[in-house]
Amino acid sequence: MAKHTTDTGKPACCGPGVLTACTIKNVEEKNVTDKKNTRMQQLGYRKPADVPEPDQLVLVEFVSDGRVAIITLNRPHADNAITTELAAQLIEVLETIAARSSVRVAILTGAGDRAFSVGGDLYQRNEMTKEQWLRQRQVFDRVLYTLRQLRRPIIAAVHGMAYGGGCEMAISTDFIIASDDAVFGQPEAMVGLSAGGGSPVLLPRVLPPGRAMQMLMTGDPITAQEAHRLGMVNELHPSDKLMEEVLRIAERIADNSPTAVQAVKRAVQMGQGEPVEQAVAIMMDEHWRSVVHPDRVEGIRAFTEGREPTFPDPDF
């Protein structure tokens, strides 16, 4: 007698909405597989490949006539996990960019195709003394502070995993453009830590507070699609098109008056959380600086003459 099948060719017992021994068996098999891995491993964490560490843990490339700096976390063998040494090099790169007047926009991304960054390197931390841990915490804090305080606009180009300190670095930038395979998570509670890189403060500002709280308490990540729907991510693109699209946005910003762009950034940052009238006062202070700046003269003159304006590098 012929076996009864569904349109998909599967046995009828496996049809949608049918909870039978067949369905239960599949669930049990999945549960057995999941139990072989820890929760952290199920998130995608893995032991770093046994290869020599690169000399340059952070790469920087200047493109678009030097106006755009692409900063790349360069530990792909470890999913760009952040060591004390990588963090120290990242500070140097950010401070170099801050002092380089020709740079108008920065992009932060990660090497390889698996991760933006999975956060602090837990294998390094496992071997640390208390003093080494405290030193690393100070270096990490300085990285995140420097990201937040950089005068130039900085965009996070996120692909793959952005966990822990990696997610915190992303939300410390001005905005995030992500690939459609990106995932964002704060799994610190899974290893006995309270998140300390800013996510308890910053995450509820880019997500509904309850959703942020769930991420921080469970350690479960959210997909790029959910992050985009909730406003944490500005745009989604295929992974092979991500850098092309981020560079397009960076060049659009670089074409504008750097003085005006930096003024807008300060007005938004300093006005957040302030009462409306105080925030408006901050905004107007930045506005009047732009009114008396030569970029305003050049911009309006170019408009009336039917040409593109030519804005010099910022003078502060």
DSSP 202-228: HHHHHS-HHHHHHHHHH---EEHHHHH
* d(C-alpha 151, C-alpha 99), whole Å: 10
Longest Cα separation, the chain: 89
174 sits in which H/E element: none
Please, what CATH class does the domain formed by 58-253 belong to? alpha beta
pLDDT the model gives residue 32: 46
User: Which residue shows structure tokens 């937040």?
Assistant: 148
Choose the weakest-confidence range: 22-36, 51-65, 272-286: 22-36
Cβ pair 109, 182 in contact under 8 A: no
Tell me the pLDDT band of 228, cut-offs 50, 70 and 90: very high
Q: Catalytic residue at 168? A: yes
* d(C-alpha 156, C-alpha 148), whole Å: 12
Catalytic option among 28, 53, 92, 188: 188
pLDDT at 26 over 80: no
Q: Which of 235, 230, 226 is nearest to 207 (CA)?
A: 230
Give the residue-averaged pLDDT of 112-128.
89
Which CATH code for domain 257-305? 1.10.12
Catalytic option among 85, 127, 168, 226: 168
* d(C-alpha 12, C-alpha 116), whole Å: 43
* d(C-alpha 110, C-alpha 112), whole Å: 7
- 3-state SS track over 255-272: HCCHHHHHHHHHHHHHHC
Choose the weakest-confidence range: 35-44, 79-88, 213-222: 35-44
Q: What is the pTM of this model?
A: 0.85
Cβ pair 186, 167 in contact under 8 A: yes
pLDDT the model gives residue 35: 54
* d(C-alpha 165, C-alpha 90), whole Å: 13
Tell me the pLDDT band of 316, cut-offs 50, 70 and 90: low
In the chain, where does DSSP find H-type helix? 21-35, 39-42, 84-99, 122-126, 130-149, 165-172, 199-206, 209-218, 224-229, 242-255, 258-271, 276-291, 294-305
pLDDT the model gives residue 52: 87
Q: Catalytic residue at 53? A: no
Query: In sequence order, which residues have a C-beta less than 8 Å from that of residue 136 and are 6 or more positions away?
Result: 84, 87, 120, 125, 128
* Percent of the chain at pLDDT exceeding 90: 60
pLDDT the model gives residue 189: 87
pLDDT the model gives residue 121: 86
Mean pLDDT for the chain overall: 87
For 181-193, write each residue's pLDDT tens digit.
Answer: 999 999 988 888 8
